[in-house]
Copies of this chain bind each other. A is one copy, B any other.
Amino acid sequence: MPMAALPTTSTPTSSSALASDAAGATPPTTAAFSPLYSQIKALILQSLQSGEWKPGEVIPSEMDLAARYRVSQGTVRKAIDELAIDHLVVRRQGKGTFVATHAEQHVQFRFLKLVPDSGTPGSGGPAQRQVIDCRRTRATADVARALALRTGDAVLQARRVLSFAGTPTILEDIWLPAAPFKGLTAERLANHVGPMYALFETEFNVRMVRAEEKIRAEPAIDGREQLLKVEHGTPLLSVERIAYTYQNVPMELRRGYYRTDTHHYHNTLN
């Protein structure tokens, strides 16, 4: 009576598309148990990916989703809980659950951990952005590896400088796979307002969901000293970021060079 699972009613374990080892070989081995709420989470995730609900919009209420998937409200709740932890949705009591977006004020620059030495992250006003270059090229071996492409595949490359209070502080080289970002030009990059990741959402339907960073200390060389207006050899924070969309698909490689004389990279360890 309870425990109906998906469109096709069956036992909870073997119902959804999660049974990845249902091939031929070992019949009674470890069955890879997946709880119901986890399957529901996957289904909601599909709807998120497919664009059934777009960034900023409300998704159906917990009761509606419970009816839709034929499970209890508590099970849907636990699924949404995890999506909220992953920052894929945002809950607002009394209003509903919304698809997360990079365009909101209080989550802007979610992935930028460089903060001024004194004052709150947003103090000193917003950054001035200056796009120096944006061109179509071919992926070198390391860029291809980072973006899960093949060497020589088409990529878009951009370079920009972010300044705070008139001081150039961040130099970024950005590589994007050309296919999903067809039509992106230097003008569109330079003219849009708000975070770059918000532009990606609205214009190219690409949502950055997670990122990994590798941080090193490197001297300012190769012209970076001029762009950041520091002396040749000044230590800079080198931040290599790979940003991922859904399904852990890499969609951006970004090499940032941060001046750390008035700012620092802030991290919390739990």
Query: Interface on A for B, CB 8 Å cutoff?
Result: 86-87, 110-111, 113, 210-219, 233, 235-238, 241, 258, 260, 264-270
Copies in the complex: 2
Report yes or no: A215 in contact with B237, Cβ–Cβ below 8 A.
yes
> In the complex, which residues of chain B have a beta carbon less than 8 angstroms from the beta carbon of A87?
270
Offer 18 A-B interface pairs, CB within 8 angstroms, sorted by A. A86-B270, A111-B269, A113-B267, A113-B269, A210-B268, A211-B268, A212-B266, A212-B268, A212-B269, A214-B266, A215-B215, A215-B260, A215-B264, A215-B265, A215-B266, A219-B235, A235-B236, A241-B269
Report yes or no: B214 in contact with A217, Cβ–Cβ below 8 A.
no
Assembly CA distance A235 to B29 (angstroms): 53
Assembly CA distance A258 to B235 (angstroms): 13
Task: Give the secondary structure class of A's interface.
Answer: strand
Assembly CA distance A104 to B79 (angstroms): 31
Partner of A210, one of B213, B214, B233, B270: B270
10 additional contacts (CB under 8 A) given A110-B269, A113-B267: A211-B269, A213-B269, A215-B266, A215-B267, A216-B260, A216-B265, A217-B218, A217-B237, A217-B238, A218-B260
> In the complex, which residues of chain B have a beta carbon less than 8 angstroms from the beta carbon of A241?
269
